[in-house]
Amino acid sequence: MKSALGGAQDIVLRLSGITKRFGALTANDAISFDLHRGEVIALLGENGAGKTTLMNILFGQYTADAGGVEVFGAPLPPGNPRAALAAGLGMVHQHFTLADNLTVLENIQLGTRPLWRAGLGQAAARVKLAGLAADFGLVVNPDALVGSLTVGARQRVEILKALYRDARILILDEPTAVLTPQDSDALFDTLRRAVATGLSIIFISHKMHEVMALSSRVLVLRHGRLVGDVATATTDRARLAAMMVGAEVAAPKVAPAMPGPAVLTLRDVSTRTIGAAPGLQGVQLALRAGQITGLAGVSGNGQAALSDLISGLVEPQSGVMEPAITPWSPRAAVAAGIARIPEDRHKTGTIADFSLTENAILETYTGAPYSHRGLMNWRAAEAQTRHLIATYDVRCPGPNGPIRQLSGGNMQKLILGRVLDQSPRIILANQPVRGLDIGAIAYVHGRLLAARDAGAAVLLISEDLDEIMGLSDVVHVMSEGRLSPEFGRGQMTAAQLGLWMAGQGFDHAA
């Protein structure tokens, strides 16, 4: 099959009968497909469909129970990431695999030179990295510590790390999650040029417009099985969505909001800059009952500072927040009816070795019905967890296993249930559907709209402009700690919001 983006007919990758089981769960069930030189395949599927497991087998991080992989006609040794790298495979993971205490350059060089070789070769590495950064529009400071970088900058380092190793087959897992529309378009243009020279790509994304724009072919997994293999030019978003979930998926209808009074107001609020993360700069914001306020922006431009402020983690350096959280703490914020969906489900949303039940009551365990006079009522906690698992379709073995065994999407569903099931007064939804499939996204959006219609004030923070524009009643843009004026629903195009995200709108406004 010839790539729609140009390329030859030869097969560079072949998966044959790949099967992987985790206990009673069959994550991959006899999956077979070929990838050609200069071809872009999009891999779609619901959360838990087996996409990440399949890619981890391909990259040598898991060993298949049955089946095999060939790269450029040669068998790929199973369970050997070094062999995968040597064969020309590069992988950009959904969750970053970087060392925070090393610089960008050191992370990119890590594992590329034998320990016995004299010198680090940093001069040549720096030149090569600069060339790649310029060619792909992925500019980062090579001497910055990765631990000081924003989420967006870390994503760029992950992509550069794969390209630095001269990958001929690139696996991309949600690569544009933290990019502006302009940056995404630039990345796609660069990938198209690279594909035209022979690079082959397997591309995992939940953004249908990206799948339609970049891929030449789409593979669809459902419950671990390959249920679709179609040329992108012969299908559309609705058909792909139905193939993924086994039924038609309808996005929730967004009725006009009936906003009430402001339940939280920021007046000229500024916060301290911490490391590379900018603080707020004179922010004016009103969250109203019965309204979804969307906040767009490239990751690392002050959204974390705003989220931490409302969550009770930081106090204003100047300005006023009404009502003030007293004393200023996360516990007081929860008591005030502020429910939080955190940006990072691994670091701040869950405790990996705790069970689903323990994670489900992390923010409510101190009161009825889960505790009384210091004694836990685990029966009530487990019943609540089973309720969340059923209501939010959390695919897991049960409520008592460690949450780290869940896929990222199913972990996110449990967090969403923990928040939305409280019927909170204010919902801080920070990247609420990151990593979720199209069916889960529609469900979560429907629940946020239901919470809005029940009178909750929702602050939706997202780098996905489709989500912001489709769900928000009013929109703000944040750039370098500054907050734009309020834009009504439909008032701004994606391109116009993208200019504000890049800071240009603030310059013109000034």
Same domain, 333 and 439: yes
Q: How confident is the model at residue 119 (pLDDT cuts 50, 70, 90)?
A: low
Residues 37 and 153 in one domain: no
Q: What is the per-residue pLDDT across 52-78, written as a single tens digit (0 to 9) for each?
A: 889 989 989 899 999 999 999 999 999
In a domain, residue 245? The reply is yes
The answer as to whether 344 is a domain residue is: no
Does any domain span residue 414?
yes
Residues 260, 308: one domain?
yes
pLDDT for position 190: 76
142 and 179 part of one domain? no
Say what the pLDDT of residue 6 is. Answer: 42
Residue 1 banded pLDDT, cuts 50, 70, 90: very low
Express each pLDDT in 408-459 by its tens digit: 778 888 998 999 888 899 999 998 887 677 777 888 898 899 999 999 999 9
In percent, the amount of the chain with pLDDT more than 90 equals: 44
Looking at the fold, whether 5 and 26 belong to one and the same domain comes out as yes
Position 150 scores a pLDDT of 67
For the residues 341-370, what does the mean pLDDT come to?
A: 88
| pLDDT level of residue 4 (50, 70, 90 thresholds) | very low
Predicted confidence at residue 116, as pLDDT, reads 47
Q: What is the pTM of this model?
A: 0.70
Domain of 147?
99-166
Domain's final residue, options 367, 394, 423: 423
- Decide: 146 and 102 in contact? Cβ < 8 Å: yes
Give one word for 453, left, alpha or beta, with left for phi > 0 and alpha for psi -120 to 50: alpha
Residues 77 and 68 sit within 8 Å (Cβ to Cβ): no
pLDDT for 414: 92
Q: Which of 249, 266, 289 represents a domain boundary (last residue)?
A: 249
The Cα 500–Cα 148 span in angstroms is 24
Per-residue pLDDT, 54: 92
User: What confidence tens digit (pLDDT) does each residue in 199-257 have?
Assistant: 899 988 878 888 998 999 999 999 899 999 999 999 998 899 888 888 777 778 888 99
> Where does residue 289 rank: exposed (0-12), middle (13-18), buried (19+ CB within 10 A)?
buried
Asked if the structure places residue 343 within a domain, the reply is no
Q: What pLDDT is stored for residue 94 in this prediction?
A: 64
Q: Are residues 78 and 9 located together in one domain of the fold?
A: yes
Q: pLDDT band for position 350 (50/70/90)?
A: very high
Backbone angles phi, psi at 490, to 5 degrees: 80, 0
* Cα 359 from Cα 352, distance rounded (Å): 9
- Whether residue 309 is found in the same domain as residue 404: no
Find out whether 34 and 48 touch, Cβ atoms under 8 Å: no
Is the pLDDT at 469 greater than 50, yes or no? yes
| Shared domain check, 199 and 75 | yes
Do both 160 and 259 map to the same domain? no
Confidence of residue 7 (pLDDT cuts 50, 70, 90): very low
**Domain total for the chain?**
4
Question: Is 345 contained in some domain?
Answer: no
The reported pLDDT for the residue numbered 179 is 63
Among the residue ranges 103-107, 125-129, 365-369, the one predicted with the least confidence is: 365-369
- Asked whether residue 53 falls in the same domain as residue 104, the answer is no
Give the amino acid at 21: R
Co-location of 47 and 71 in the same domain = yes
Of the three residues 402, 423, 444, the one that is the final residue of a domain is 423
Q: Which two tokens stand for residue 334?
A: 């929860």
The confidence score (pLDDT) of residue 191 equals: 83
- Contact at 8 Å (CB) between 91 and 55? yes
Give a yes or no: residue 447 inside a domain. Answer: yes
Q: Which residue has the higher pLDDT, 152 or 421?
A: 421
CATH of the domain at 76: 3.40.50.300
> Residue 305 domain-assigned?
yes
First to last CA, the chain: 53
Q: What are the helix (H) ranges across 280-407?
A: 303-310, 330-335, 356-360, 378-391
- Asked if residues 317 and 272 have their Cβ atoms less than 8 Å apart, the reply is yes
Taking the C-alpha atoms of residue 12 and residue 73, their distance in angstroms, rounded to an integer, is 7
What is the Cα–Cα distance from 188 to 156, expressed in whole angstroms?
14
Please tell me whether residues 265 and 316 are part of one structural domain: yes
